[in-house]
Structure 1
Amino acid sequence: MTIFKTKWIFIFLFFSFQYFVSQNLKNKPNVLFIAVDDLRPELGCYGQPQIKSPNIDKLAESGLLFNRSYCNVPVCGASRASLLSGVRPNRHRFVDAHISQDEELPGVLSLPMHFKNNGYYTVSLGKIYHKRPDAVGSWSVPEYYPKSDWKGWQGYVMPESDTLIKNGKWGIDGPSFEAPDAPDHIYMDGMIADRAVEYLQQFKDTGQPFFLAVGFQRPHLPFNAPKKYWDMYNFDNIQLPDNMFKPEGAPDESMHNFSELRAYTDVPEEGPMEKEFMRKLIHGYYASVSYMDAQLGKVLKELERSGLADNTIVILWGDHGWHLGEHNLWAKHCNFEKVLHTPLILSVPGKKENIKTDALVEHVDIYPTLCELADLPKPFHLQGKSFAPLIDNPNQPWKEAIYSRWINGETIVTQSHTYTEWFNDKGEKTARMLYDLSKDPEENLNISEEKENKKLIIELSAKIKKHITERDHIKLP
């Protein structure tokens, strides 16, 4: 064979390969990855219509809603780093809000990096990782985190470093809520939604497969939302929870002083709050959810208008739950079910719509699920299980339990119970609590010391021990 013929064969093979790659990428589904901060499953699609969330509810109608989704650690930074790395938190990894995936798991392939490596254009808008920058190299363009010109109280803004923490305390100089008569874009979520719409218009023109991560800040404190969203609710109808007391028999380890909320200037550093003020906080939380929901609606509307919805997987998740006065607690940072339970919705083009599942799933399952749905290989380090099969068969047998942890507390959640054990630095158990969710869904009575539950305690304790052993001995890069 002459050099001339060899040259043309090489050129033919090269362009054939390029064409094959481009056609393969065109067939890849896009991913719209929506993270919501501090969102609990108190939404219309979860059978709780007191909060007006029409766009989330509509999204749920287009796909699969998970009734039993749980975070693996109830704090922003650790929860997000765990989810985006596909690696579980443990006693020394992903412990609090201000951790970095790059620092704690250097070399581990992040979810967006994996999509980027497989030809996707990856974009981060708003709060995806808590600490910035993190998972460096995961995004095709620099992370977008807007700054507003709003002259009012902008509220909690993610720092480049841990400057909000001063002497072990939160350093926030402002009130816990605000209701200005102003447009949506004065706050970050409005600006993030506008930028997401711009990107969708761009993707419509380029045709490149995308992984668009949109991180809405609300309903994170402070509960700042334009007045029109506060006006959606009648303050006279805002109710305090029925269980504003420490659960009977609950150990002291289960409680905390909700320092995150107490950092705001209108909240006392210690002691109880006035009932009317607590009702105002709940009002603000509701308004913040509706404000965020409206921003989500703008993004979903553009996804439909552009025609991209026909080939775009949409997943919406909350990074953890939140207390609104239950057990006299506010915020997250504990092991109660209200804080571990998260909303999760998955919409896949061409699949069943308006379905629900009671299967137990957890945040580390999201990474392998998106890999399977996009037909990407699953990195070896992933510690979760893809729940993609639930789309076609939502009632099939699934996990017997999921696991979450907070500081020294290790929690197992089954279909019927939640059980938590606390350990000291020597690994010795110091306390425990057990709740029967079928009889006591609000976890008001700790039944861990009742004789008839001894066998169940032994069983659940053994499962926690086995889980810790397996989790902590997995080799990571």
Structure 2
Amino acid sequence: MNIMMNLLKLKILLLGCIILLVDIQMVGQNGEKPNVVFIIADDLMKQTELYGYPEIKTPRLSKLADEAVLFNRAYCQYPLCGPSRAVIQASLYPSKTGITWNKPGKDEATQTKAASFNVKTMPHYFRDNGYTTVGGGKIYHNTTVGGKPGAIYDFDDVLSNAGVDGVKGTMPDGKKVTYITDNSTRTITEHRDGALIENAKAWLDTYDAASNNPFFMCLGIKKPHSPFSAPSQFWDMYNRDEIKVSDILLPEGVNADLSLNGIDGLFSGHVDTYMYTGENIPVDKQKEIIHGYSACVSFADYLVGDIIDKLKAKNLYDNTIIVFVSDHGYKLGEYQRWAKSTVHEKDAVVPLLIRDPRKTSEHGKISQAIVGLIDIYPTLSELCGIPLPENIDGISFADVLFNTSVSGRTHISTIRVRSLSEIGIERAISLSIINPDGYRYTQHWGGEYDVFPMKEDIIAYELYDHYKYRNTPISVENLVNTETELLEEMRQLVLSSSEEITGSATSVKNVELKDLNYYYNRSTEKIHISSSDLIEQVAIYDIVGYKVIDLEKNTNKLEIDLSGLKKNNVFLARISAKGKTSVIKVLK
């Protein structure tokens, strides 16, 4: 007995030592918590030199990647600036918060919505846990301005980004808007993003690591968002004659109205492109736009390197976690569309690079783990040794930074909501997931984004192989008619995780029946349902959405025999009564 007790004590002691060692590793040298520099670019697609696409040059980011972990399978949860940034800062799904357009993605609106779920935004949470917070630029879907309530909520200090961004002209209606490109003769610091980084460097000059708290710095670089305005030195990095335009079309048989963004998406807001669509824009104009976009990416890359140089000069680099990410992907003419706002891989996948100076053995490696932008908030919390925030939806992937072979999530979702009244759909929802094999599954339906559809509600499906037998972010062939078994597996995966995506226990938005009661009797295999409302219909669906029972009744109480259904399966019962609907899950 004594031997067994001593062995048990030894195991407990060893476990305690391991936990202590992990805690020390997470906190850093000499008990110091690491600083954080979080940099988010706007509209930056993954397909740059950083990921092996040499056409768009990113020398400073590529150099940083040698001392960081580069994520190959990082995804936004909404392919639009405001909603995606709200996801990052609050770590809540857009279908839960209702932030599915840009305006609600501004700082105050995001903070208010997060507070309704008892969640604090990421900078605020770090400040509550002993960090000095500083930020500026486009962190949310607005410029962070000192003295405004949204900035005060998150930051101790606010960095100005006052500067120029493009050249304006006059639209036919008299409105002043920018030209789509600008090969600028202004200096770097005269541009908004350049001014932001210059002010961030000045702030670091005042920071005293010996007497101050660790800092959490958020820098919102607007480029490469249009207008594609960058100092001429970055335009000079490219030869327009060598720029190629895309000839990629949407796969045959795919409904473009449901699958893609507007055909004039990028062009309508600029004085020299409002007359074009993705189908008729001249090749020379396409090359000019791609040239401008590329110059802006290289400009943003330079600015990242500039802030890194300052960290090194101030001896802060070796105790600072650096995160570089974009809010979503981007199209440059693929499928005859430009910009973002689809759930295709090209718009959903994002660049993500994280440098933690404490784990050099993983530096220079590429992780294939599936992670979401929703996961950054809890990941940084864990890396910095502060308690994981409660009530958020994100999952920490800190373990990947300490072992890049860790697999990460089994899937991640991206959703888009918009009006398609021109084809008779007032509210069209596109929900897409990517799995570890590299298959992307998408379903489109009309209704509410937090109402999970039954099979008959779905208007169209898409299924693409991106990384299983292909290696491309392009949606090449819709496999719905040839991979029917895989299609059902992917739909089942969506349904089994629908609570995670919609934030609803039943995955369906209920208008509850009055005094609804139900229970399943396993011995008789019958479900008993009662309500003060007169029950008109009960439809029961299996986990892949097939309707297996459909009863029309006018009663307050009924029992349904489920003996003909498979055991050890989950079913959904949709109960309807005069405009009200409740959905319950039944485990048989």
The TM-score bracket by the shorter chain reads 0.7 to 0.9
Asked if 1:102 corresponds to 2:108, the answer is no
**Higher strand fraction (1 or 2):** 2
Q: Please report how far the alpha carbon of residue 152 of structure 1 lies from its aligned counterpart in structure 2 after TM superposition.
A: 6.3
Deviation per CA, 1:243-281: give whole Å up to 9, x if none.
1x2222222301222434321111134532001100110
The whole-number CA distance in structure 1 between the counterparts of 2:349 and 2:165 is 36
Question: How many residues align structurally?
Answer: 435
The whole-number CA distance in structure 2 between the counterparts of 1:250 and 1:219 is 30
Deviation per CA, 1:24-75: give whole Å up to 9, x if none.
9971110001111111112223111221211111111111000111001011
Of residues 278, 285, 288, the one that matches 2:293 is 285
Of residues 359, 362, 379, the one that matches 2:369 is 359
- Which position in structure 2 is the counterpart of 1:405? 415
**TM-aligned CA distance change 1:412 to 1:219, over 3 Å:** same
Q: Please report how far the alpha carbon of residue 92 of structure 1 lies from its aligned counterpart in structure 2 after TM superposition.
A: 6.1
The whole-number CA distance in structure 1 between the counterparts of 2:110 and 2:122 is 12
Unaligned runs of 5+ residues in structure 2 are 1-27, 418-428, 506-588
Q: Please report how far the alpha carbon of residue 172 of structure 1 lies from its aligned counterpart in structure 2 after TM superposition.
A: 6.1
Asked if 1:448 corresponds to 2:464, the answer is no
Identical columns (%): 30
Of residues 106, 113, 121, the one that matches 2:124 is 113
Q: Please report how far the alpha carbon of residue 222 of structure 1 lies from its aligned counterpart in structure 2 after TM superposition.
A: 0.6
Of residues 373, 393, 408, the one that matches 1:383 is 393
Q: Please report how far the alpha carbon of residue 401 of structure 1 lies from its aligned counterpart in structure 2 after TM superposition.
A: 0.9
Asked if 1:32 corresponds to 2:37, the answer is yes
Q: Please report how far the alpha carbon of residue 241 of structure 1 lies from its aligned counterpart in structure 2 after TM superposition.
A: 2.1
| 1:80–1:319 CA contact under 8 A, matched in 2 | yes
**TM-aligned CA distance change 1:473 to 1:48, over 3 Å:** closer
| 2:151–2:158 CA contact under 8 A, matched in 1 | no
SS at match of 1:182: coil
Kindly provide the amino acid, as one letter, of the partner of residue 418 in structure 1. Answer: R
**TM-aligned CA distance change 1:470 to 1:357, over 3 Å:** closer
Query: What does 1:5-84 align with in structure 2 at a 5 Å threshold?
Result: 27-84=32-89
The whole-number CA distance in structure 2 between the counterparts of 1:140 and 1:363 is 21
- Which position in structure 2 is the counterpart of 1:196? 200
SS at match of 1:266: coil
| 2:71–2:369 CA contact under 8 A, matched in 1 | yes
Q: Please report how far the alpha carbon of residue 444 of structure 1 lies from its aligned counterpart in structure 2 after TM superposition.
A: 2.0
Asked if 1:419 corresponds to 2:441, the answer is yes
| 1:261–1:331 CA contact under 8 A, matched in 2 | no
Q: Please report how far the alpha carbon of residue 231 of structure 1 lies from its aligned counterpart in structure 2 after TM superposition.
A: 0.7
Asked if 1:214 corresponds to 2:228, the answer is no
Query: What does 1:110-189 align with in structure 2 at a 5 Å threshold?
Result: 110-131=121-142, 135=150, 137-141=152-156, 143-148=158-163, 150=164, 153=167, 173-189=177-193
Deviation per CA, 1:133-171: give whole Å up to 9, x if none.
6756443335434322x596279xxxxxxxxxxxxx9x7
Of residues 343, 351, 355, the one that matches 1:335 is 343
Asked if 1:254 corresponds to 2:276, the answer is no
Q: Please report how far the alpha carbon of residue 102 of structure 1 lies from its aligned counterpart in structure 2 after TM superposition.
A: 2.8
- Which position in structure 2 is the counterpart of 1:392? 402
Q: Which of these two proteins has the greater Rg computed from alpha carbons?
A: 2
Kindly provide the amino acid, as one letter, of the partner of residue 186 in structure 1. Answer: E
Q: Please report how far the alpha carbon of residue 326 of structure 1 lies from its aligned counterpart in structure 2 after TM superposition.
A: 0.7
The whole-number CA distance in structure 2 between the counterparts of 1:347 and 1:142 is 24
**TM-aligned CA distance change 1:327 to 1:313, over 3 Å:** same
Kindly provide the amino acid, as one letter, of the partner of residue 370 in structure 1. Answer: L
The whole-number CA distance in structure 1 between the counterparts of 2:329 and 2:271 is 24
Deviation per CA, 1:194-233: give whole Å up to 9, x if none.
0111111122465421001111110000100111111110
The whole-number CA distance in structure 2 between the counterparts of 1:295 and 1:217 is 11
**TM-aligned CA distance change 1:360 to 1:204, over 3 Å:** same
Unaligned runs of 5+ residues in structure 1 are 1-22, 156-168
| 1:320–1:340 CA contact under 8 A, matched in 2 | yes
SS at match of 1:368: helix
Kindly provide the amino acid, as one letter, of the partner of residue 477 in structure 2. Answer: L
**TM-aligned CA distance change 1:460 to 1:293, over 3 Å:** same
SS at match of 1:48: coil
Asked if 1:436 corresponds to 2:455, the answer is no
